[in-house]
Structure 1
Amino acid sequence: MSVGFRAFFAAVLVALSTLASVPAVAGTLQCAPFARQQSGIDLHGNANSWWGQAEGRYDRGHEPQVGAVLSFASSRSMPVGHVAMVSKVVNAREVLLTHANWSYRGGIERNVRAVDVSPNNDWTDVRVWYGPTGDLGLRSNRANGFIYAHAPKAAPVLIAAADTSGPALRAAF
């Protein structure tokens, strides 16, 4: 083997070993940063952590609203969950979602159908448009609910009824 060939071969091995240490998702658009950018909801980490992180920081619920993020639970097919922003409410059981990394690795899909198929109409079981089939996906996906892009409303403050029977208060009325 010539010295030049050995140097070239060594350089190729170094390059390949460097590539092997880079995660497979490097450079691939993920759902969480995309949902954060689209919705303004400032949560970080894997999608499956958003529902818990939102508690006390953002209102959460089971009614779709434009701009809210639908939080999908972890599952065997989605170990880190999924998040998608509601771009339009069609009716109480159907919305259009804008999200990344669902039908196509790193792909963005805008205004795709999602249908609530939960028995209690509470968005805990959802079927979502899947590009390769050109229709709703074959399986439903467990969801936590919606994270709304505003801070939770403060709990109402209860004010005790004033005793108006005393002489000082009676005179004020």
Structure 2
Amino acid sequence: MVPVRLIAWLSGNWGDKKGCLRDMTGDSPDFHALPGATPENSAFIDLHFDPSVSPLLNMTVPFTINGRQFRLSPGQSTKIAVPPGLAQVVLAPNFGRLFYDSMPRLDFVVHTGQTVPVFYRYSTFRRNPGSLTFQKLEGRSPSEQRTIDEMKYIVVVALGMVVAALAISFALSLWS
């Protein structure tokens, strides 16, 4: 994957000073400005990777914001300047996540000067890519809770089948 070239805003002044702006890749934890965002006309996305549940080996997770991809590590946060209007944050598929039916995604509208916090929490459940939310999650994410509920139903059905098989077996033994 080729990193996206972004402009970092290292001070409150975007002026023409070469020391205030520098070129950086999407892997940097610093402040990012996406194309179309200007000092006078930009909104902000604060993206946080919740460290309470982290992937094995502290791998980085790829995200796409308005079509630009970069990575975050567990516990890392970054502030992204975006142009006002429709914003899109999507967890990008990587090697271990190629076969999910859908990836977490947030579509929302931002206005000039507005800051929107976005939180990502990894899931240790198989076939669960994690959650993107506007608030930090306490406890299980909705997708993790659905997975647990599905497992409960499977266990109840399996136990019901075992009880039915035992009842039929017992009835047949009494009949003969």
Greater percentage in strand: 2
With the length of structure 2 as denominator, give the TM-score of the two structures.
Answer: 0.26
Structure of greater Rg: 1
